[in-house]
A = this chain, B = another copy of it.
Amino acid sequence: MPIRLETWFAVGSAYTWLAIRRAEMLEAAGEVVFDWKPYSTRIVMSELGTLPKNAPVKLAYIWRDIERRAPRLGLSPRFPAPYPLVDYDRANHVAVLAAREGWCFDYLRATYRRWMQEGQVAGAEPNLSESLREIGRDPVETLARADAPEIAAAFLANTDRARELGVFGAPTFRVGEELFWGEDRLDDALDWARTGRLSAP
């Protein structure tokens, strides 16, 4: 039985790109199924004062860290990628709809590839329509549904739930009552899910 891993994230989180790639490899191996939970990191981190743009030297480091780590996952970053996302909410509303309908992972792969490797900003055109078309969704019909107030409300409800759980960054993996923050804690999360502790490194 693959592990079902609750994964809190936002389209707009740069490290989530690496997590998506790891997820792709793990799902292909049949080990894990990712349960994607989009929430507004922007709201939560703004409340906490932890938005990376507040500390430019840290933000610059983050991009460099990702640029160094991406190639060993077979990813080819084309940096600087547009950041932060102007249409952050819309990028995530599509993710909320997608998570509800079971095609979130497909959407994430497509939209992040365009964002991180092709310089097309996520949440905006042409990234949105091209990503949807690539994964077999009609852009006009899909975006109309993603733009419904009900989806925006669901995104805020996810955000409230994330705050309640103590989630404060992305990606965050939840295993029982334990949170594992960061793409670099994915192995810890899986260890914990399998054995209830962390194995030797």
Q: Is the CB of B166 within 8 A of A71?
A: no
Q: Is the CB of A58 within 8 A of B50?
A: yes
- The reply on A200 being an interface residue by CB < 8 A is yes
Interface magnitude class on chain A: 20 to 34
Q: Is the CB of B199 within 8 A of A72?
A: yes
- The reply on A188 being an interface residue by CB < 8 A is yes
Q: Is the CB of A72 within 8 A of B198?
A: yes
Kindly state the separation between the CA atoms of A73 and B71 in the bound complex, as whole angstroms.
28
> Shortest CB–CB separation between residue A177 and chain B, in angstroms?
10
Identical copies in the complex: 2
Kindly state the separation between the CA atoms of A201 and B22 in the bound complex, as whole angstroms.
11
Given A65-B181, A71-B197, A184-B184, A50-B60 contact (CB < 8 Å): no
- The reply on A144 being an interface residue by CB < 8 A is no
Chain B residues with CB under 8 A of A57: 48, 166, 168
Q: Is the CB of B61 within 8 A of A179?
A: yes
- The reply on A49 being an interface residue by CB < 8 A is yes
Q: Which residue of the partner chain B has the closest CB to A181?
A: B61
- The reply on A69 being an interface residue by CB < 8 A is yes
Chain B residues with CB under 8 A of A201: 72-73
Q: Is the CB of B54 within 8 A of A49?
A: yes
Name the interface residues of A165-188: CB closer than 8 Å to any CB of B: 166, 168-169, 178-181, 184-185, 188
Q: List 30 A-B contacts (CB under 8 A).
A: A48-B57, A48-B58, A49-B54, A49-B55, A50-B50, A50-B54, A55-B168, A57-B166, A57-B168, A60-B166, A61-B166, A61-B168, A61-B179, A61-B181, A64-B179, A65-B180, A65-B181, A65-B185, A68-B178, A68-B188, A68-B192, A68-B197, A68-B198, A69-B188, A69-B198, A72-B198, A72-B199, A72-B200, A73-B201, A184-B184
Which residues on A are within 8 Å of B, measured CB to CB? Answer: 48-50, 54-55, 57-58, 60-61, 64-65, 68-69, 71-73, 166, 168-169, 178-181, 184-185, 188, 192, 197-201
